[in-house]
Structures are given as structure tokens and as C-alpha cells.
Amino acid sequence: MRFFEIVLLVFNILLMGWILFFKNKTQRSFLIGSGISVILMLLHGIIEGMRWAMIPAYVLSVVALLLFVVRLRSKSRQAGEQPARKRSIVKLVLLTLLTVIYSAVAVALPILLPVFTFDKPTGSYKIGTVTYDWKDDSRDEVLTPDPNDKRELMVQIWYPADAKAKGKTAAYHSDANAFAEGYSKMFNFPKLLFSSIGYVKTHAIENAEIANAEPSYPVLLFSHGLTGNKMQNTFQVEQLVSHGYIVVGIDHTYSSTTSVFPDGRVAPLIMQDIKSITDLDNANEQWVEDAKFVLDEVEKLAANDPDQRFTGRMDMNHVGMFGHSYGGATSTQVLMADSRIKVAINMDGVLYGQRLIPEEGLGKPFMMMSADSSVENINSTTEGSPIDMKKEVLPRFANITKGGNYWMILNKTTHISFTDFVSFSPLFQLMQGRNIGEAYSLINDYSQDFFDHYLKNQPFRLLEQNIGEHPDFTILHD
């Protein structure tokens, strides 16, 4: 919860108790109490922005003001008969119950639907960001009925910014309404529950000057999960950028939560009819081609950026890729398909795609990160599912660590532990077996250690030192 939300809620709960249970309230005290409540509500609205989850708190601010007006206009009451004691006790119980219910609802709504924040990145760099709309005229868009449509992608680049960089901080989502609609379809929950994402901010500064501390920076492509989006791993992207990486996030149009183009067009999520593992393998090839196309465009920026931001500043000899879920599978596929990608991390992605890991291994540095619950699912036979995980998927994992690669399994985690989605509500966090902050730290520390070693030629700090079983994770390595 945000600062003024907390202050307003606490004050209004105390104000409600005072109104209901304290006698001998003067007009002056009513004026002060209702006035403070309204002022706090206005400050909250102006500074933080109002949202529907705070409606119970707003209602009490208005009720307190109305009670003051009514009290001001009412005539002095004459002394009368005192109510029966039994009636007073019933009234007290009802008032107490009303206070408890109001307080519970008023506090629960903004807590369950928070305006969450991202931890401050630990690196020495600030973060800059810029967004591009790139169209691949060589490829038809196969997910729309219009035969003239070409594949068009929204791409966001995060990069190290100077320590003195200042400017507008980027919102988590460019169009809160469109993404709330997308999340509603993605999670199958009412759209209203996702309206608070419009208030979530990042640490990235729009169009900031790139840092001059290093002549160039390694480049990492990021591919989201099926129905996810390029911002879904902001907790990880910002951390990597603060330590000297340029991260290029791809929205895989019509397979992402939503894509919002600069001219206002919205490409919604289109759920494809998947009937077999072959369907998933074939569909993934479009994502592989997306990554190759984006890498082509990044090379153009590195050679001659019209804005002169990235010209000569992207180290195209040290390029890696990482992704979550279906995007993790894409990272593995691109590592095998494109010589420009030197290293890759697959975060809890089933190994879908047209290329299988060879018996001798990938021949390039690779790291698999998995939730223990996902590994358990892969090792089981699912009744009624179009894909038999144990029979069709498990064999694909046999060669992950061949050739000296790594497989890290995080204990007490789930598929969404690798994304920001866990932060959307404490209800999602309750599904995890551990504190999500601890999981984020492990993901960030070990992914950075992996990339630092292979793209920056730094010695391992963690991976090689922690091979084997540990309370929080297991690292397998041939």
C-alpha cells in the first residue's frame, strides 16, 4: 500500500470508532475530524491517484463530512428517557460488528490488490528505457485473417544510464486499461481486479542518456511466457541493467498479454488451439523468427542509431538471451538456431521447439532454471491432457547439463515465481512455498553470475561454488 493510502485508512478507522463509540462530540471536533479525513483523501488523490479498492475509505471521508453538516443544522436535543440497557447492549454489539466489518473490508481490498513496488536495483547504474515499433515486411502475420498483415512487434530496450540521469520515470504499463483487459483474459478474473497496475512505477527513466562508464555493454534478449509480456520480468531486467547490461524485451504480438502500438492500435491476446506437442513445437518457430528479426534490428541500432544513443554502445560480440516459460523454450531454440546468441537461460520453460538438445549437449553455455513443482509435473502423467508430460516432454530434458551446462531447481516455487505476476496480489504469493523476495534474489543472483562469467569474462561467484543439493535449491552440472 502507498503512504497516503495507509494514513487515510488508519485515520478513517479511528475516526469511525470515535464517531460510533464516543459521546459528547462537539461541532468543533466533528469539523476537525471530518476536515482532516477529506484533506487526506484529496492529498492521496492528487499525489498517488484514486482507485476503486480504496472506495470504503473514501466513503467514510464523505460520511464524516455529511455527519458534520447534519449536526451543524440540527437543533439541540432535549433530555429524554434513557434507552433500556438491553437495547444499549444490542446497539453496542451492532456498532462494534459494523466497525469490524468496515475495517476488514477497507483494509483487505487495497492489500489484496496492491500498487506494488519494485526493489531498488543493487547495481551502480541508473536505468534508461526506450520503446520501438518494428515491422518485419518479409513475414506475414499468421494470427490475423487479413492476408496483407505483416508481423509487427513492440520492443522495449532497457540500458545503463548515467548516475546523474533525470527525467520521467516510466510506468509499468503504457496503457493500463488495455493491459487490465489482457490480464483479465490471461488469469480469467474480472478486469476490475487489475486496474491498480496503472499506478505501478518502475525505476527506468524514459529516453535517458546512456552511461559512459564503459565503451559498450553486453546485450540480452528477453522473451516472455505465453500470454505474458515484455515487462513481466521487470524485477530481473532492472537488476541486470543496473549491473551493466542492455536488455531487449520482445512482445510476441497476439501471444502476449496485449500489445499497444504508438498510434493507439491494440493487438489483443489470441488464444491458439493447441492439440498436441507438435502444435507447440511448430508455433514456437514464429517466436524464434521474432527473436532473429529483433536481433537484426538491434544490430542496425548498434551500427547506426538515428538517435545516436546506441551507436557503438552495444557489444554485439557478447549477446545472450533469457526467457520465461514459452519464452524460455524460445531462448533455448534461438541458442541452437542463431550463432549470434552466445549464451542462454531458460526459466521454467518446457523444451518445446523444432530442435532437440543433442546427446552431446548444446555446445554453448546454457542454464536451465526450474521450479521444483514444475519438475514434479514433468515427471508425472496427466490424465486427459493432450500432452503426456512424462512420455513426450521428460525425455527432452535428458541432455540439459551435457557439455558442462547447468540446471538449477528452486525449492518451494511455482511457475509464476519467475515473474512479476506474483507481486500482483498476496493471494498469488500464498501459492508459493517461500517468500517471493528470496526467490527473486536467487533468480537475480544466479542469472547475473551466469551472464557475468560468459559475457563479461568474470569468475563465478556462485554457480560453480554451489553445485549439488542445498536447502533452497539444487544445481545439477556435468
Q: Mind listing the domains of the chain with CATH numbers?
A: 3-112 (no CATH), 126-477 (3.40.50.1820)
Do the beta carbons of residue 203 and residue 301 sit within 8 Å? Answer: no
Q: Who's near 423: CB < 8 A, 6+ residues apart? A: 114, 116, 235, 429, 436
Single-letter residue type at 85: R
Determine how many CB atoms are found less than 10 A away from the CB of residue 354: 13
C-alpha angle 475/476/478, rounded to 5°? 140
Q: What is the pLDDT of residue 25?
A: 73
Tell me, what's the pLDDT at 382? 64
Q: Say what the pLDDT of residue 240 is.
A: 98
Instruction: Determine the pLDDT at residue 346.
Output: 98
Rg, C-alpha atoms of the chain: 27
Dihedral, 435, 328, 119, 410 alpha carbons, nearest 10: 20
Q: Nine-digit cell at 45? A: 488523490
**Per-residue confidence (pLDDT) for residue 76, from 0 to 100:** 47
Q: Is the pTM of this model over 0.85?
A: yes
pLDDT confidence of residue 83: 47
Instruction: Indicate the residue type of 234.
Output: T
Provide φ and ψ at 204, rounded to 5°: -80, 140
pLDDT at residue number 79: 43
Report whether 449 contacts 463 (CB < 8 A).
Answer: yes
Bridge-based pairing of strands 150-161 and 126-140 is antiparallel
Determine contact, residues 224/250, Cβ cutoff 8 Å: yes
What pLDDT was estimated at residue 383?
A: 62
**Cα torsion through 468, 469, 475, 478, rounded to 10:** 30
A 10 A CB-CB count for 24 gives: 5
What confidence score (pLDDT) does residue 17 get? Answer: 84
> d(Cα 27, Cα 77) in Å, to the nearest integer?
14
Neighbouring C-beta atoms of residue 372, cutoff 10 Å = 17
Write out the three cell numbers for 257. 498479454
- Tens of pLDDT along the chain (478 residues)? 899 999 999 999 888 888 877 777 777 887 888 899 999 999 999 999 999 999 998 988 888 778 777 766 664 444 444 444 455 787 777 878 887 888 899 999 999 999 999 999 999 999 999 999 999 999 999 999 999 999 999 999 999 998 889 999 999 998 999 999 999 999 999 999 999 999 999 999 999 999 999 999 999 999 999 999 999 999 999 999 999 999 999 999 999 999 999 999 999 999 888 889 999 999 999 999 999 999 999 999 999 999 999 999 999 999 999 999 999 999 999 999 999 999 999 999 999 999 999 999 999 999 999 999 999 999 886 666 778 889 999 999 999 999 999 999 999 999 999 999 999 999 998 888 889 999 999 999 999 999 999 999 999 999 999 999 999 999 999 8
